[in-house]
A and B are shown apart, each in its own frame.
Chain A
Amino acid sequence: MSHELTIEPLGETITVEDGQTVLDACLRAGVWLPHACGHGLCGTCKVDVVDGEVDHGSASPFALMDFERDEGKVLACTCTLTSDVTIEAEIDEDPDARVIPVRDFAVTVSRLVDLTHDVKGVFLTIEGDGIDFQAGQFINLHLPGVEGTRAFSLANPPSRGTGIELHVRLVPGGAGTTYIHQTLKEGDRLTVSGPYGRFFVRKSATEPMIFLAGGTGLSSPKSMILDLLEDGRTEPMTLIHGVRTQADLYDRALFEDLAARHENFRYVPALSSEPEDSGWTGERGFVHDVMNRLFDGFLGGHKAYLCGPPPMIEACIRTLMQGRLFEKHIFTEKFITAKDASEAPRSPVFKRI
């Protein structure tokens, strides 16, 4: 039987399966807890149980002292739940993070637009107040006849909470995206739940911003940029949108218009496989290479927001770090699935990226 786990000071609540450890559940939910050995020997993942009943599992008596057990401490890597539980963990509190409860919404498909040959713009209308979220977050979409849910980042700004915008690329053989591209029609009714994720703009920061988007990874940065410009922010912002060819580029007119109207906003489409003779005069190459050229290899002093396929994210992180911008200033959505957990373990060098 599964139990609810509330994690303070975040205030987030997640579900922990029977026999699943607190650490595993947290990491899968995108909540990073300090940890090292992973099997109850070192004590790095110690957290406080504020409320509820737990099983200590195989926590070593040297890593978790008797007096600590009496005080309600547990090791997240071995501890399982026997009731609903609230823990308090050493998590960096983020002044920009809002705690927004996840809700279910009934939505209607108001419009379907072909953004490119394989990307659809999906517009959904929510009755009532709409969805409250932070620009950058994502929702889970339930599709009729498709098992499970599909996660999509919101491309609309939070000011337009009643009109959801999603960018969906057709994944060959993918049940969810095939349904959206081939079966979904205007007027269909669906349910979504959200908002999810810890990828959002750090509005308390005042550094110039770099947004790095790959393909439909444009959705989150689009929401973020619209939100910031609506707020009247004046920090320099650069958006680099990487796609293969001109045929894969979308929302170009919108961003060119924004760039024309806001002198602090720069829009740089970057094409990695555009034919040489196409007459394209803009940037060519991968997102990280274009960024490196634009900033002359020095990226320190920025905040960077990354959204796109994993190889692009990794290449951008390397370029940013070798350009002297480090983890504290790099933000990206990290989806950890059951598959990731079975692969070779990552080292504990980085927490979020």
Chain B
Amino acid sequence: MSAKKLGLKQRYALMTRGLDWETSYQPMDKVFPYDTFEGIKIKDWSAWEDPFRLTMDNYWKFQAEKERKLYAVLDSFAQNNGQTGLSDGRYVNAIKLFLTGVSPLEYQAHRGFAHAGRHLRGVGPRIAAQMQSLDELRHAQTQIHTISHYNKFFDGFHEFRHMHDRVWYLSVPKSFFDDARSAGPFEYMVAIGFAFEYVLTNLLFVPFMSGAAYNGDLATVTFGFSAQSDESRHMTLGIEVIKFLLEQHPDNLPIVQKWVDKWFWRGHRVLGLVAMMMDYMLPKRVMSWKEAWEIYFTQAGGALFQDLERYGLRVPKYADVATEEAEHISHQNWAIFYQYTHAAGFHTWMPKPDEMDWLSEKYPNTFDKYYRPRFEMWAEMEKKGERFYNMGLPQLCTTCQIPMGYTEPGDPTTICFRTSEYKGDTYHFCSDGCKDIFDDEPEKFSQSWLPVHQIFQGNCGGATVPDVLDWYKLNVGADNMDYAGSPDEKVWKAWEAAKKSQGSARTEDAGAKTAAE
């Protein structure tokens, strides 16, 4: 009788098992100094199930083909002047927000997974973290290469890396990742692997990628597909992390629950930028933020947490508050950016009447009642040449670093305002969720690099707004202010005019041809 053929799983196990060793020159605890202080107890590292059986040689083969396909699309997009086929020049501002706010996070994720991989003593999670680290580097690179094409024609892209580290609103996504990367390796895996890559990733990627598809941005759509093909590994890893921690020791449950609560709320706050992008920055809209939240959090997340409840893990704290905020957050964020457009690296505008109607239809409970009157007033002021700018510096929430513009749960007419005392100082928060996070780790968050505080302390280039904008490397008059009257708009209008004259020339040609016949 011939030997039975091995299954794929067994073949992988035989090829990869036993590659690890117990160190002897140094004790294991010294080689892996960070995987115990968080209180997580691991009894058996070998119980880690390899979620995605891929060997390194295959990994390179796959990624190489993905790259070839992506770069072929990028070349053809560039050669065919794909940028002129966009739905509208305003669309590019969504991509500016992505490049300055999201692509640097891919790079942060690359470094974070490299670090977590180094410091987890189990070989299974180490290999998974290594591959994800490489994926994230690839995502950062391909996004930068894709978007660099727009930098040839539009403002706001040129200093994206520098801006990510300095500009006030970009400290929101940056501090999110800084927080995760300065945590222990298990918290990092829960924060980024589970909460971000699993629970919230669809709310980040789907809006940008479908937004790109609806607005004629084939290049961005393609890098989206290319990245999404890696996501299966990342999502499976996120799930495996949670299952592994919860099954290893009962003491891990309250720690994991605390992290899930924290990172859900932090993620929800960062995603407010995406909410605003979906509802206000896409000339052709895909769906509203509220609809996206319903599909990707309420339904998909609901199924997830229903299953995780078997372990005793609850739905994240304040999930109900976040769901209520889905009615408000995009409007409140856009209002903030409109007021501070002079200090932003992308353009703003008031929605056109038909866009306001779309918002009324999508937000029947809130838009007409709370937001339309304010926006119509601002549009009116603009017409009279009294465009409203807020020249004061906003108070920021110490945890999420967003200006304190959000309203009380259940009362959209009162600003939500919380404080905590720590070592004689008062710290301010936009919500109970952000206050809880601070109260749990005050020694960490009291050291936050808050952009407004830093300006007042004289650490941001000088005492005046122009000094600070200069320090941001913001090209004043081009990168910032309204879309109306911007160099971006001028370029776009010139293309439109050229298209029209070509179009009419073509019509005339066709007419001439018919006449000749």
Contacts and interface: CB of A to CB of B under 8 A. Distances in A.
Contact of B299 (A9, A317, A344): A344
Contacts of A48: 8
Contacts of A61: 69, 225
Nearest to A345: B303
A6 interface: no
B312 A322 contact: yes
Interface of B: 5, 7-10, 52-53, 61-62, 65-66, 69-70, 225-226, 228-229, 231-232, 235-236, 239, 243, 247, 250, 299-300, 302-304, 306-312
Contacts of B69: 61-62
A91 B239 contact: no
A90 interface: yes
Contacts of B304: 347, 349
A63 B309 contact: no
B50 to A, nearest CB: 11
Interface string A51-88: 00000000011110111000000000000000000001
A41 B232 CA distance: 9
A44 B234 CA distance: 11
7 contacts: A44-B52, A60-B225, A60-B228, A62-B229, A92-B9, A322-B312, A347-B304
Majority secondary structure of chain A interface residues (helix, strand, loop or mixed) = loop
A318 interface: yes
A14 interface: no
Most buried by B among A89, A321, A349: A349
A344 B298 CA distance: 11
Nearest to A60: B225
Majority secondary structure of chain B interface residues (helix, strand, loop or mixed) = helix
Contacts of B70: 62
A267 interface: no
Contact of B229 (A42, A67, A345, A350): A42
B8 A66 contact: no
Contacts of A62: 66, 69-70, 225-226, 228-229
Contact of B232 (A42, A324, A345): A42
A346 interface: yes
Given A62-B226, A326-B247, A344-B303, A90 B9 contact: yes
B236 A65 contact: no
Contacts of A36: 232, 235-236
A93 interface: yes
Contacts of B52: 44
Interface in A224-248: none
Interface of A: 9, 36-37, 41-44, 48, 60-63, 65-67, 88-93, 317-318, 321-322, 324, 326, 344-350
Nearest to B302: A344
A37 B206 CA distance: 12
A88 B307 CA distance: 29
Given A43-B232, A60-B229, A61-B69, A348 B9 contact: no
Contacts of A60: 225, 228-229
B53 A90 contact: yes
B73 to A, nearest CB: 10
Contacts of B250: 324
Contacts of B231: 42
A306 to B, nearest CB: 13
Given A90-B8, A318-B309, 5 more contacts: A63-B232, A90-B7, A347-B300, A349-B239, A350-B307
Given A93-B7, A349-B304, A65 B62 contact: yes
Contacts of A92: 9
B456 to A, nearest CB: 46
A289 B229 CA distance: 44
B238 to A, nearest CB: 11
A41 B303 contact: no
A65 to B, nearest CB: 5
Contact of A41 (B8, B225, B247, B312): B225
Q: Which 9 A-B pairs have the closest CB atoms?
A: A42-B232, A347-B304, A62-B229, A44-B232, A349-B307, A63-B229, A347-B303, A65-B65, A90-B8
B229 A43 contact: yes
